Amino acid sequence: MATEPTTAVLTPGDAPADATGMPQLNVESFPNQIFWLVLALIAIYFVLSRVALPRIASVLAERQGTITNDIAAAEELKQKAAEAEKAYEKALADARAEANRIAEENKAEMQAEIDAANARAEAEIAEKMEASEARIAEIRDGAMQSVETVAKETAYAVVESLGFDADQGQTDAAVEKQMKGAA
C-alpha cells in the first residue's frame, strides 16, 4: 500500500470543524492565559526594577545634583556680584569724595592766588595813587606859586597901567590876602 498524501483544500467559507471563535475569548483557555499574563508581568517587573528603573533613578539623581550644584553656584555668583557692586559703589563714592576734595583744594588755592593778586594790585594801585597824588600836589603847588607870581605881576602891571604909582610890596600883599581868602 502506498501512502499518498492527502491535502485538503479549504474554500472560502469553510472553517475547521473544532474552532469555535477567537482563541483569546475561549473560556476553556483562561487559566492558561492568566498564568502567562502573570508570568509576563513578573518578567516585566523584574526587568524594569533591575535595569530600567535604576538607570532612570540615577539619571534623575544626577540631574537633581546638577540642578542643586547650579543653584548653589548661582547663589555664590549672586553673592559675589552683590559684593562687587558694593565695592564698586564704595570706590565710586571714594572717587567722588576725592574729586570733591581736590576741587575744594584747587578752589582754595585759586582763591588764595586771586586774593594775593588782588592785594598786590591794590598795593600797586595805592602806591601809584600816592605817587600820582604827590605829583598832582607838586604840580598844584607849582601852579599855585606860578599863579601867585603871575597874579602879583599882573596886579602890579594893571595898577601901573591905570596910571597909579604902584608899590610892589602893597600889590603883593593885596594879592596874597585875596588868594588866602579864596582858598
pLDDT tens string 96-112? 999 999 999 999 999 99
- CA–chain centroid gap for 141, Å, is 72
Q: Is residue 9 part of a domain?
A: no
Share of the chain above pLDDT 90, in %: 54
| pLDDT for 155 | 84
Q: Is residue 20 part of a domain?
A: no
For residue 52, what is the DSSP state?
Answer: I
pLDDT exceeds 80 at position 57 = yes
∠94-95-97 over CA atoms, to 5°? 65
User: Minimum mean pLDDT among 15-24, 25-34, 90-99, 128-137: which range?
Assistant: 15-24
Which of the two residues, 29 and 116, has the higher pLDDT score? 116
Which residues touch 175 (CB under 8 Å, ≥6 apart)? 148, 151, 152, 155
Q: Is residue 134 part of a domain?
A: yes
| pLDDT for 140 | 85
Which of the two residues, 181 and 176, has the higher pLDDT score? 176
pTM here is 0.40
d(CA 174, CA 181): 11
Residue with cell 482563541: 23
Q: Is residue 4 part of a domain?
A: no
Q: Is residue 177 part of a domain?
A: yes
Query: Which grid cell sits at 113?
Result: 592766588
Question: Count of domains in the chain?
Answer: 1
**38-59: b or e for each residue (b if 16 or more CB lie within 10 Å)?**
eeeeeeeeeeeeeeeeeeeeee
Domain extent for 108: 31-182
H-state helical runs in the chain: 30-47, 53-161, 168-182
d(CA 68, CA 12): 68
User: Minimum mean pLDDT among 7-16, 86-95, 124-133, 142-151: which range?
Assistant: 7-16
